Amino acid sequence: MERLRVAVFASGNGSNFQALVDAIEAGQLHATMELLVCDRPSALVAERAAQAGVDTFLFSPKQYPNREAYEAEILKQLEAKKIDLVVLAGYMRIITDTLVKPFYGRLINIHPSLLPAFPGMNAIQQALDYGTKVTGVTVHFVDGGMDTGPIIAQRVALIEEGAGIEEVTQSVQRIERELYPQVVQWFCEERIQLIDRIVHINS
């Protein structure tokens, strides 16, 4: 079976990017990391990609007239690399139909809450402000909305009494680094089936 050709979109530190690279190197993930797309050229994730020998497409959105223009350029990069799966990992921009349509069903995101609760920015702080006793992590397909795509997998993180943003964030990020490589491996094994909004994980 050929290895899945993966591209990661990220805007920040790149801890989930690194988790995927590490899983590939450890033989736990039957994929190749073909490309990093990053909208902040100075972000740490770009350094991680360089250290891992992963090609990068770094861009500044302000250099393009609109979102569709830079997404069209990204699409060219993805097609040139023959990407099978696009993985958003802390990419802080809404994806438009320019990318969603050609990659729907092959475009996933990870979010630090149990969707549909607490979508959008600052999800962990939203959970703390609300006073919920649990939060967690969701991996979902991207459909162009704000964290509205079909849910692939979720895992719970308990919020202990008196826990602050740093403690909860660390707990959530540990789960992310475990769950995301697992879900990508399901794609490698062709176990994921999307029917309407319902995702089936075949054994």
Please say whether the beta carbons of 13 and 44 come within 8 A: yes
Active site annotation includes 140: no
Distances (CA, A) of 182 to 8, 144, 186: 15, 24, 6
Q: How buried is 126 (Cβ within 10 angstroms: 0-12 exposed, 13-18 middle, 19+ buried)? A: middle
Cβ-proximal residues to 59 (8 Å cutoff; 6+ apart), any chain:
37, 38, 39, 41, 70, 73, 74
For 156, other C-beta atoms within 10 Å of its C-beta total 10
Contact 124, 140 (CB under 8 A): no
- DSSP designation for 84: S
The DSSP call for residue 113 is: S
Q: Which of 30, 111, 140, 200 is catalytic?
A: 111
| Interior/surface letters 91-108, b for 16+ CB within 10 angstroms, e for the rest | beeebeebbbeebeebbb
The catalytic residue positions are: 111
